[in-house]
Every structure is written in structure tokens, then in C-alpha cells.
Amino acid sequence: MATEVKVPTLGESITEATLGAWLKQPGDPVAADEPIASLETDKVALDVPSPVAGVMGEQRVKEGDNVSVGAVIATIEAGGSAAATPPVADANPPGPGETPTLKGDETAPVAADAGGEESGESNLTLSPAVRRAVLENHVDPSKIKGTGKDGRVTKDDVLTAAKAQKAEAPAPSVAAPAPPSAPSSAPAAPPRSAAAGERREERVRMTRLRQTVARRLKEAQNTAAMLTTFNDVDMTAVMEARARYKDLFEKKHGIRLGFMAFFVKAAALAARDVPSVNASIDGDEIVYHDYLDVSVAVSAPQGLVVPVIRDAQALSFAEIETTIADFGNRAKAGTLTIEEMQGGTFTISNGGVFGSLLSTPIINPPQSAVLGMHRIEERPVVKGGQIVARPMMYLALSYDHRLIDGREAVTFLVRMKEALEDPTRLLIDL
């Protein structure tokens, strides 16, 4: 008896997804709760688990198809067979040097390397981004030790294996000259080689996540009256505080003290003085929040995702850093949930980790402001009448001018600058 596999509930207001990749093929053994397909939604990629143990049956949709919540995408056939049905060999045995053929559309199983370690089944369950990386870098995923959740292979694992494979590649050997052949009346064709200036193109369908990001960013530009204001911050005090307490902090809390906690706390302090930065427009009403839910951009295999730190104004430095580290790890493993990326009231984007000096970030509706952090670099500044070198960072606040006046935007950045240049303000609430 076959069990239907349906598209699970995807989250609030999300009714449709795109089938990114099949992780199991018909005939493959499937354990209960084992992922059989990967879905791409507007916000994240998530796996569809098998409701029962058995054998993968019919695939009712193709990769790239749109599917609705509750739609049947596959069936799981009953049976405890641990292996797929063996291929049927051709009636005519192959001759010496010939490759055996299979009947119909059957595929020969891949033999395990003799003496090699058996690869875990979870390592072969690949997300769309990992599958693409495997194909582009020509590596064998079964030989890669996964560092993701439950030992799954991540994109970083594939890239690391590709680098190691290139480093171990032997130098090309010189082929022996071919023996002379019988003369021919037709002139020999010159050897064909790739042109040095060959131009190539590749068309790749945009993922649902990228389509949604593109649409929402354009909607933000079309709807909001966006403006960006800038300031710079002397990071000397923050860097000295980190250097002085980082070892004690990590020993006590089990997490490194980063820059983001300082900025989140400073934003919470500034938003209390300038509440419009943490507000939003709903029709002809302004919604003010007495809490600060900070969306933080983190890297994931499919691109940047923006999980939310809830009630950031009430969290300690250790709680903020622990939450951010957890988001980063689960973003790489692809295990962030949709609920964790909904409902932010303010966004902080750290382009400095990629080397950005200055930018004008785009707000994420319905939010009304986004703070852009940038790289820290020593620049000459005047202090006490003397020109000195100080570690400086540019801050950029993009905001919706329909709600936030220029005076309020500048005041918000000044409050953040004061708190970061004198972190004691964060402790005594000034």
C-alpha cells in the first residue's frame, strides 16, 4: 500500500513553494522522517520528510515545479527492502573490453570503493546549492565528510574537497608519439582545441528565494521614500573592551564576544530615544513597537537570509552573541525555520565582513529603517588638535522619509555613535 507525501505547512501567509530537488529517486530505500525532497519558499529552503519507512515510489512533480500546501508530490511504497531492485542484465553477455548494458531505463548501482569508509546515507542527501556545487567542481559527494546537521554535506564542504582535489591532482604526463599510420590521400584535419577567447553563457533559473528578494527590494524602492544618512564611529573603545574581556567572556558564556552585540545594544538604546526608527506604516496608521526585534543578515548556501533576534532590548551581550552564532550555524546547515525570519522591526546588515567600505542598504518592508555596518580601517582623524590614526567605521542608516524625518535619522545615528565610542553608556543606560 502506497503512502502519499504531501507538501507540509510552510508558515504564516506562505501557500506555495518550488520543488528545488529530489533527494530520493524511485526505488531508493527511505527511512521514516528522512528527507526525500527539498522545497524553496519565499524565505528558506526546507526538506520534505517521508511520513513512513519504505521505498520511494512515484514522483508526481518535477524539479522546478510550483506546488501548493497539501499537494501530493510523491508516494512511499510499503516494504523493508534495503536496496533498490537490481538491474536486469542484457541477455547477450558483453565481450572482452565491452561495458555491460542494462535493459530499459534502469541504472547501474555505484559500487563502493574497496577498503574505503562507508559513507553515511545522510551525506548523500544534498540540497540544491550543494548539488550545484558538486556538479560545478566535479567532486564525489560520497567521499566528503559532511559538517552539517546529522553529517550532511554543506556547500563549504564541497568547496574544501574541490580545493584538496586540485592540490592532489598529478602533473599531466607527456603522451608517447603515435606510431606512423598508412598514408592517406586526404589531408589530416588539424587538432581541435578550445579558443583562448571563447565566450560562454549559462542560463540558470532564479530560485524562488532570489525572485522574492528581487521583488521585495523593488517594491521597497517603489513604495518608500528612501533616503540614507551617514556617520562615522571611532571603534577604539569597543575594540579595547573586546580585547580586555574576550577571554573571560568566552570562558564564562562559551561564546566569543563579537561586534554585533555592541551594535544591537546601541540600536536598542537609540531606538528608545527615536521610536519612529523602530516603527512601521500600516495603511494610514503608524505602528510603534515597545520591543526591538532585530533582523540580522547571515550567509547561507542559497544566499543571505535574515533571521530575527526577538526582544533584543532585553537580552544580554551573551544572549545576543549566542543567538547570532546559532543563526549562522543553522543557516549553513539549512535548518532555519520560516518563523525565525518573520516579524522583524529593524534590520542590521554587516557588509564589513565582506570588505565593504560604504553602502546604501535598502529597507525591508514593512520595516522603516535599516542600519549598514562596514569595515573598520585606520584613518587620520583630529583628536585634541592632533592628527592621529584611529580605527574608524562608516555607519549608514537608510530610512523611509514618509515616517522618519532627517532630524530623527541623524539623531539616531548620533546616539549610536555616542554609545559605541563610550560603551559605558550601554551599561548605565545613557
Query: CA dihedral defined by 132, 137, 140, 145, rounded to 10 degrees?
Result: -80
**Active-site annotation holder among 42, 405, 422, 429:** 405
Catalytic residue among 113, 273, 401, 422: 401
Q: In the block, which residue shows the cell 568547496?
A: 159
Q: Return the axis-axis angle of helices 260-273 and 317-333, rounded to nearest 10°.
A: 120
- Please report, for residues 317, 322, 372, the alpha-carbon distance to residue 254 in angstroms, rounded to integers and kept in the order given: 12, 9, 28
CA distance 134 to 293: 37
Query: What are the helix (H) ranges across 361-421?
Result: 406-421
For 252-272, b where at least 16 C-beta lie within 10 A, e where not — what string?
Answer: eeebebbbbbbbbbbbbbbbe
Q: Establish whether 405 is a catalytic residue.
A: yes
Query: Within the chain, how many helices (H) and strands (E) appear?
Result: 8, 19
Q: For residue 262, what is the DSSP state?
A: H
> Distance between the two ends of the chain, CA-based, in angstroms?
68
Cell of 310: 526577538
Task: Indicate the burial class of 101 (C-beta count within 10 angstroms; 0-12, 13-18, 19 or more).
Answer: exposed
Count of C-beta atoms within a 10 Å radius of residue 248: 10
- Cα separation values, 138 from 130, 162, 204, 227, 352, Å: 12, 8, 18, 46, 32
97 CB burial (10 A radius; 0-12, 13-18, 19+): exposed
CA-based nearest residue to 299, from 260, 257, 344, 330: 330
User: Which cell goes with 397?
Assistant: 542608516
Beta-strand runs (E) in 266-328: 280-282, 285-287, 294-296, 298-300, 303-305, 308-309
Instruction: Please give the Cα distance from 252 to 146 (Å, whole number).
Output: 30
The three cell numbers of residue 305 are: 537570509
d(CA 285, CA 224): 15
So which residues are the catalytic ones?
Answer: 401, 405
